[in-house]
Amino acid sequence: MNAIYEYFFLPLSPVLALVFAGLLLIVLECVSEEGLKPLKSTVAFLGPLISLYYVFQLSFTSGLAFSDPSSLTGPVWLVEFTKIYKLDGMTLNFFWAIDVFLLLTLLFFHSFYEEWLERNELLILIEFISVGMMILVSANDLLMLFLGLELMSLPTYVIVGFRRENVKSCEAALKYFLFGSFGTVLLLLSVAILYGQFGTLKTGQLQFLLAQTSNLSNPAVLVSLGLMLAAVGFKIGMTPFQMWLPDAYEGAPTSITGFMGSAVKLASFGLAIRIFGGVFLPLAEKWMGLMSWFAVISIFVGNLCALRQKNLKRLFAYSSIAHAGFIILGVAALPKDAQSQQMIYYYLVTYGMMFLGVFAFLNLMEQNGKSLEFSNLSGLGFRNPVLGIALAIFVFSAAGIPPTAGFFAKYFILFESVKTQGVLFAVLAVISSAMGIYYYLKVIVHLYMQDASGGSKLAVQSTSTYIAILICAASLLFFSIFPGRLGVF
């Protein structure tokens, strides 16, 4: 029993906390008592809070038994579990980020949730989406990775189309489902080819077998690599596989878009790190250059398309493609410098905070009956000074203007790119990202330099949304001053 606790329950405790929260919400959903509705919100918050507690406990527990499972003598299923579940520094880092993003999302989710009290499945779905993310980033086996990916993706398709009476929301859910399913099919084909060639799905064993000289130019392996690159490209919104992203982000409820652009994107890049920083690491020379070109093209296309947007939601959707391009540059640097993983993580967390903060602000605009057009930002920086400063922090960080956290995130990635692949891709990335400064500064111009006559102050109808915005802004300031605080595990 002690072995089961040390090798199963303890290392899996951050995931189990969210699982139990989701199951308890399902039980509470079966009870129609009106007074239980506040309890459901409490349970939803307790899930990530308890999960965070266990993340910190695991990160500061020296001599964790799970870190050395070779001496384990126990049930066969337990031995097998230690081979498919990877508890390392990256896992704990990503667990922390997923829990924090989930808590912040629940804060500004609350106002949206209050509008849909008769459909409480929203809280259940978001808890299990987070479970899928955790399984995805901790997978040490391609089958487990696939299960985590699907547990994350399928409920996300549902919550994107949560407003069934809204045509754009339904269209967004359908596009996201179709393109996401296509990406999953490509991933499964790649996994099937690898299994047919090597007879195993363990990532460590596959990495070892792929390192054999005879397999480096194996046509089947190269086909599998190409399929996996396309599959991961769909999941992270890499050009030319980003077609679904702007429509899905625009059509989804604004609070849900914030969750997709932060937590879901973080987990998707966790998938990319596990695949290209693990399984296909021996084939790095085959994909590093190609991925770097995809990264630069993503930055260029994302910023170019964002220039033409008048809708703020769609603008930040396209800008997320450009940001994904920078992170892909970090992934391409992984084979030659493992430190790139930490730079990727810093970028994902700071970008996630920025994205959540922006969409919490847009959520406030919608609550006040304002359309998400540039004209409705005019003068808001003076009518709502605190919110205006917060939005300015988010925008400057997204643009990469020093000394914001966004600047350091881009600098770290570009530094790794120059160190591993020379100056070409870094220079192209900087030139492409220069376009983005125009539309980011356009937001600042409307906030502070446009005629504010006739406008009205944003009424903060939900205190929790206001708190979430301030936390995101404060976090960006903190991580710009202390960038080393990300990665303490």
375-420 pLDDT per residue, tens:
788 888 888 888 889 999 999 999 988 888 999 999 999 999 999 8
The pLDDT value recorded for residue 482 is 86
Reported as a single tens digit per residue, the pLDDT across 148-164 is: 999 999 999 998 888 78
* pLDDT for residue 348 is more than 90: yes
Among 226-235, 300-309, 359-368, 409-418, name the one with the lowest average pLDDT: 359-368
The answer to whether the peptide bond before residue 14 is cis (omega within 30 degrees of 0) is no
The pLDDT value recorded for residue 338 is 80
The pLDDT value recorded for residue 363 is 85
CA R_g for the chain:
22
For the chain, domain boundaries: 2-485
The pLDDT value recorded for residue 489 is 40
- Note the pTM of the prediction, 2 decimals: 0.93
Query: Which residues are CB-neighbours of 386 under 8 A, at least 6 positions away?
Result: 470
Q: How many CB atoms lie within 10 A of CB 76?
A: 7
CA-based end-to-end distance of the chain = 28
Confidence at 112, pLDDT banded by 50, 70, 90: low
Average pLDDT over every residue of 50-63 = 84
451: helix, coil or strand? coil
The pLDDT value recorded for residue 73 is 67
The pLDDT value recorded for residue 109 is 74
The pLDDT value recorded for residue 318 is 92
CA atoms within 13 A on the CB side of 70: 1
Mean pLDDT of the chain: 86
Handedness of CA 489, 344, 252, 397 (dihedral sign): positive
Angstrom CA distances, 211 to 86, 207, 274, 285, 431, stand at 21, 6, 16, 12, 36
* pLDDT for residue 488 is more than 50: no
* pLDDT for residue 323 is more than 90: yes
